[in-house]
Amino acid sequence: MLTIFLRKQSVICPIGVHEFERLQGVKLLISVEVSFSVHPDQDQLSQTLDYTELVDIVNQKAAKPQLLLETLAQEIAAEIKIRTAMPIEKINILIEKPQIPHVGYQAEACGIAMEFRF
């Protein structure tokens, strides 16, 4: 199995259930792992997934105002699937929100982890 990954891409995203989060933007750390059951048989970029493509997809999808992290993860996974020529086995997405507007919040981060199997 081959896994291409992007770890903790930092973005400011207009996301959250509170309107001020969508207006001001919220810092997110987004990690993506894309796993393939086959390995490239040639030394060609077209035989794999370009890391910069993952960065572009994450940045593009994170720029759209949304309520839920779950929706953002689904949109990232769908775009990866569309742009990737190789057969994908699974996509794992972790979205961390380092700060939330809640009294007593002392955690390093909260967020979601989603796995998409194909």
Number of domains in the chain: 1
Q: What is the mean pLDDT of residues 33-53?
A: 80
Host domain of residue 52: 2-117
pLDDT (tens digit per residue) in 24-42: 999 999 999 999 987 766 7
pTM exceeding the 0.95 threshold for the entire prediction: no
Confidence of residue 7 (pLDDT cuts 50, 70, 90): very high
pLDDT over threshold 70, residue 90:
yes
- Per-residue pLDDT at 44: 66
CATH number at residue 97: 3.30.1130.10
Tell me the C-alpha to C-alpha distance, in Å, between residue 74 and each of 45, 47, 94, 106: 25, 24, 11, 28
